[in-house]
Amino acid sequence: MKKPRKELKDCWKKEGIIKRPFFHWNIWIWSRYNKRNAERLKEVDELRDLILFLEQVYMGGIVPNKLFREKASVRVTSLCTEKIPENLIVRESRFLKYQPSKKKLSNHNKTLIPILENDENSLCIELPVWCEKMFYEGKWMAVTGHIDLLQYCDEDKKVYIWDYKPDYTPGKPHIVYEQVKFYKFLLSQLVFLEPKNIVCGWFNDQNEFIVKDYE
């Protein structure tokens, strides 16, 4: 097993983007936060607690990094079973206008970083979320995950949790349906946000798929 270097407390700032590394699940994950967008959106009453949480994640020490490295903790994706998603809103992806980066990056980052840098309502990518004690399927467990993209929508005044799934094919079983619902639950436990004000979904390179919420 790789041993983490001393946890990096410093973060990198460039043009309003804060970049912070987390040693989670035995790999370094670079999470990014658009502080420029957050400064503007914190004027929205419903987002103040969320913005405060993000400030603590990227410039404080709120993330329980040890939890993400413990063998006893469970990763969200390992709890998800493949299902055919249902009750979806399907439409052309709002992110098509952002061209993938040509830099030497992972496929995920080639898509997600340009969105974060150019979309005025995007807040962060690879956001760590967790629950230190959750009762699931008859037992207590610690659960961890990373949200690909967190965004606010001016039109409906809701927070959007997005997962980027370039391999997703409509009508076929996939873990993403349960995955984004877990992320919604975890975020709602960490931040004062009513579940009805959190929308979860995913997107590939053509469309976006939003889970209908009947709460």
pLDDT digits (tens, 9 = 90+) for 112-157: 999 999 999 999 999 999 999 999 889 999 999 999 999 999 999 9
138 class by beta-carbon count within 10 Å (0-12 exposed, 13-18 middle, 19+ buried): exposed
The CA angle 32-34-38, to the nearest 5 degrees, is 135
Q: What's at 68, amino acid-wise?
A: F
The token duo for 214 is 């009947």
1 pLDDT exceeds 70?
no
Beta strands in the chain (DSSP E): 12-14, 17-24, 27-34, 74-75, 88-92, 122-136, 139-153, 158-164, 198-203, 207-211
* Structure-token pair, residue 37: 């967008």
Q: Where are the domains of the chain?
A: 12-211
pLDDT the model gives residue 61:
87
At 10, give phi and psi (nearest 5°): -80, 155
Give pLDDT tens digits for 11-58.
Answer: 666 779 999 999 999 999 999 999 999 999 999 999 999 999 999 999
Supply the pLDDT for residue 214.
52
pLDDT in tens, 57-107: 999 889 999 999 988 899 999 999 999 998 999 999 999 999 999 888 888
Mean pLDDT for the stretch of residues 153-181 = 95
Contact 151, 119 (CB under 8 A): yes
Residue whose structure tokens are 């992110």: 95
On the question of pLDDT at 10 being above 70, the answer is no
Residue 167: HSE in the Cβ half-sphere, 13 Å Cα cutoff: 6
Amino acid at 159: V
SS percent in the chain: helix, strand, coil, step 5: 25, 35, 35
Per-residue pLDDT at 15: 76
Provide the token pair at 121: 């309502």
Cα 105 to Cα 4, 58, 120, 162, 163, distances in angstroms? 21, 21, 22, 20, 18
